[in-house]
Structure 1
Amino acid sequence: MEATSGMPRPELLQVADAVAREKGIDRDEVLGAMEQAIQKAGRSRYGHEHDIRAHIDRKTGEIKLARFIEVTDDIENDFTQMSLEQARIRDENINLGEFLIDPLPPIDFGRIAAQTAKQVIVQKVRDAERERQFEEYKDRTDEVINGVVKRVEFGNVLVDIGRAEAILRREELIPRETVRQGDRVRALILDVRREQRGPQIFLSRTHPTFMAKLFAQEVPEIYDGIIEIKSVARDPGSRAKISVLSSDSSIDPVGACVGMRGSRVQAVVAELQGEKIDIIQWSEDPATFVVNALAPAEVTKVVLDEETNRIEVVVPDDQLSLAIGRRGQNVRLASQLTGWDIDILTEEDESERRQEEARKRAEMFIKALDVDEVIAHLLVAEGFTSIEEVGYVPLAELAEIEGFEEEIAEELRNRARTFLSEEAERLQKRREELKVADDLVEFNGLSLAVVVRLGENDVKTLEDFADLASDELIEYIGDADNMTMDQANDLIMEARRKLGWFEGLEDETDETSEDAVEGEEA
C-alpha cells in the first residue's frame, strides 16, 4: 500500500533551498531534518509506540505520512510488528522482512507540534552545519588563516573565519597582546577536533609553526622550496631563533629571509608584536650548528657527547652572560633549535675543570701503578684515562711516550695488569661476601665494580635490580661507572623484560592491535 500524499508544497522546497544556501549544507540534509520533525509530530499525535515515517517528495514538496509494520516471526512489539499469517489477511503477496504501510492523513500542525518541529529542524540543521565545518577544516591544520574578532570571553578570543567560528585561547595569544571586537587577526589552525558541543577549531599565534608559515608568506624562496626552514624555537613576544638552509648555493638563506634593509623579517616581527628574531644558517655538523645558534655570543671550543646528546660549549669569560642570555633565554632557545642539551662554561671554568680531572687521573695512576708524579702526569698528558688503557695498550705505543724506554713501558703495563687482576680478585671476594646472586653478576651491561656497589646497597638479585628507579641506580653505583639516566633506564627495562614482567602486557597489546586491525578491515 502507498502512503497518502498531501497537497504539493513547493514552499517547503523553497525554504529548504534557502536554508541550504545560507548555512552551506546539502539540501537533502535540510529536507531530512524536516522529515524527522514531521515524524516526531506524527508520533505525538498517533502514539510514540508506533513506527511512523514521513517523506517529502524532492520534486513537488508533497508530504507523505504512514505507519510501518514489520512482518516477522519473532514479534517483540505488537505496535510495530506483525506475524506473516496476520499480514497475509491484509496483503496475500507480502513476505517476511517486508512492511505493511498504513497511510495516515496529513497533519494539521498545532502550535506546540509546530514549535517542536521547528526545534528539531534547527537542531538537525545546526548538526549538519557543524559536520560541514569539521569536514572543511579537519585537513587544514598548520594553515595560517585570517579572521575577525567576534568577542573576547575571559581572555579567550572567538574569531569569525568566514564559514566557521574558531577559538584563540588566552595561552595561544602572544603575551601582552590585546585584541578587541572587530580587530582582524592572523593565526595558525592548531587543531580541529570533535567535541560534545560540536567541532571546535583551535587557533594559535605562539606556535613555532606560525612563525615558519609567516616567513613562507614573506619570503618567495621559502614558498618555492629553494630555502627550507629546518627548525624554529620561540619565546613568544620576546625572542625567537629560526634555522634555514638553501638548496641553491648561489642563494644566501639568511640574507633572503632578512630581505632588503630587513624588510622581510620586519614584516614578521611586526605581526609578532616586536618579537626579536635571530635567523641562523643550519649546518649538518652539530658543533657548527650549535655555534651558529648561540649567536651573537662567540664560542672558542665545543665538546660533543653523542651518547647523552649533550654538547659542552666554552666561551670567553666576557661572553658568558651574552651566551646564556637574560634568564637563560639565549641558551634555552639554542637548545630547542638544535635539539642538543647545551652546557656553557667560561674558559677559566673549563681550565680549572680540566686541571682537576688531570689531577684525579694522576692520583689514580700514582696509587695503582706505584709511580711518581712525573710519570703519572706524562700518562695523563698522552690521553690515558684508565688503568685498563695502560694495561692493554700495544707496548710500542706506550714506549713512544717521550722519556719512556721500552723497559719502563713494559714495567708500567705489567703493574697495570697486576693491579687489574688483584682488583678483580678483591671485587669477586667482596661480591661473595655480600652474597650477590649469579643472575645479577651474569646480567649483560654490569661490571663487577658496579655489581659490588649494588650489593653494598642491598641490591643482590636481578629482581632487586629490576625494581630500581633510574635515579636510584645512578646514586648507588656512584663513580663506579659513568652511566647516564637513559642508559640506567635501558638496563632496568632490559632486566624487567628478562624476568618476564611484560609478557602478559605484550600479549594484551598484540591482541588489542590485532582487534584494531580486524576492526579496520571490517
Structure 2
Amino acid sequence: MGTILSDLGLESPLVGMTVTGHIKSSGPDGFRCVVYDVGTGRPREALLPRTDAYDLPEGASPPQLRPGDTIVALVTGVSDEPEADRRRLILSATAPELVGRILCGFVPELLTGEVVIKKIARVAGTKTKIAVASTTRSVDARGACIGRGANRLKGAEQLLNRAFGRERLEIIQYSSDRRAFLVNAMNPVQVTDVLIERDNAVVAVEEHQLSGGIGEGGLNAQLAGQLTGLFVRVTEAGSDLRAALRQLMADRAAKSV
C-alpha cells in the first residue's frame, strides 16, 4: 500500500477530516472510493483498506460495500505511490477519532470548547463509549452531547451508520476519580460496589444486571476497561470482591506466562 505521508510530516490538508467516500470498486486491498476536496470541490482518489472498513465481533458477517454506496470515514493519511497522480487518500471507518469528529458536527459545545472529549473506546460497527467533560460549570457535558430527546446523539448515530451497521453510541461523564469514572463507564448498568488495585478492577452489579454489565461477548466490560485504562471483571453483588480481585490478577498472570 506504500508509505503514509503523514508519518513523514507531509500530510494532505484533508488528513484528520471526516469525509464521505463514494465506493467505486473493490479489490483484495480494499474499497476504492472518490471523495471531494472541501477546498476545491475536486474529486480525489481514496482507498478504504478492508482492515479499516469494519471491526465486527467474531462470527459476524462483514457488510458488503458495493459500487454506488457511500460511507463516512476519517482521512488518516496519503499513500506514497510512484506516480504522483496515483497518490490516494487513505480512509478509516473504524478509527475511534471518527466518532468524535462526527459528534462535533452535532454538538456546538464541542466546537466552542465548553465541552471536551476526554477519551473514546470503540468496537466499530457495534458500540462506542465516549467520555466527555465540561470546561465550565454552567454546561452539562453529557446532556449537551445527548441533546433534547437524544436528538444530537441519534443524529450522530444515523450519520455514522448511514452506509451500514447498527453501532450504538453512549456518552459517559468523565471523572478524574478512577472509581467514579469506572462507575460511570459501566452505564447503563447500575454498579453497587467497586474494588480497584493498580490496573485491575472488580465491579459488582445486581444479579438481574449481571449479563448487561458484562455485555454480549464481554463488550460492556471491555469498553469500560478501555475507557478507564483498567482490566475489568464483573461479579454479582454480595460476592467477596477481594477474592474476585485476587482471582482476576492470578488469571492475568497465568495468561502472560
TM-score (norm 1): 0.40
1:334 partner SS? helix
Q: Decide which structure has the larger Cα Rg and report it.
A: 1
Counterpart in the other structure of 1:158 = 32
**1:151 Cα offset (Å):** 2.0
Counterpart in the other structure of 2:147 = 259
Q: Deviations over 1:147-181 (max 9, x none)?
A: 42222224821111234211012222245444332
**1:183 Cα offset (Å):** 3.4
Counterpart in the other structure of 2:72 = 186
**1:351 Cα offset (Å):** 6.7
Counterpart in the other structure of 2:192 = 300
Structure 2 residue 247 is matched with structure 1 residue 247: no
Distance 1:287 1:351, change over 3 A: closer
Distance 1:353 1:194, change over 3 A: same
AA matched with 2:98: F
Counterpart in the other structure of 2:172 = 280
Which one of the candidate residues 218, 224, 246 is aligned to 1:334?
Answer: 224
Which one of the candidate residues 52, 56, 60 is aligned to 1:172?
Answer: 52
**1:302 Cα offset (Å):** 1.3
Query: Could you tell me how far apart the structure 2 residues matched to 1:230 and 1:245 are?
Result: 7
Are the aligned partners of 2:23 and 2:66 in contact in 1 as well (CA < 8 Å)? yes
Q: Share of identical aligned residues, percent? A: 30
Report which structure shows greater RCO (CA 8 Å, sep ≥6): 2
Query: Could you tell me how far apart the structure 1 residues matched to 2:188 and 2:9 are?
Result: 46
Counterpart in the other structure of 1:289 = 181
Query: Could you tell me how far apart the structure 2 residues matched to 1:326 and 1:261 are?
Result: 27
Are the aligned partners of 2:186 and 2:213 in contact in 1 as well (CA < 8 Å)? yes
Which one of the candidate residues 91, 94, 102 is aligned to 1:214?
Answer: 102
Structure 2 residue 118 is matched with structure 1 residue 230: yes
AA matched with 1:301: D
**1:297 Cα offset (Å):** 1.4
Counterpart in the other structure of 1:149 = 23
Are the aligned partners of 1:280 and 1:292 in contact in 2 as well (CA < 8 Å)? yes
Query: Could you tell me how far apart the structure 1 residues matched to 2:11 and 2:65 are?
Result: 24
Query: Could you tell me how far apart the structure 1 residues matched to 2:242 and 2:119 are?
Result: 35
**1:205 Cα offset (Å):** 1.0
Distance 1:282 1:194, change over 3 A: same
Query: Could you tell me how far apart the structure 2 residues matched to 1:247 and 1:149 are?
Result: 40
Structure 2 residue 197 is matched with structure 1 residue 311: no
1:159 partner SS? strand
More strand by share: 2
What does residue range 5-154 of structure 1 map to in structure 2 within 5 Å?
Answer: 137-154=11-28
1:249 partner SS? coil
More helix by share: 1
**1:242 Cα offset (Å):** 0.7
5+ residue gaps, structure 1, are: 1-130, 357-481, 489-522
**1:243 Cα offset (Å):** 0.7
Counterpart in the other structure of 2:212 = 322
Are the aligned partners of 2:195 and 2:242 in contact in 1 as well (CA < 8 Å)? no
Distance 1:204 1:351, change over 3 A: closer
Query: Could you tell me how far apart the structure 2 residues matched to 1:252 and 1:184 are?
Result: 34
Which one of the candidate residues 336, 340, 343 is aligned to 2:233?
Answer: 343
Are the aligned partners of 1:138 and 1:193 in contact in 2 as well (CA < 8 Å)? no
Residue correspondences, number: 227
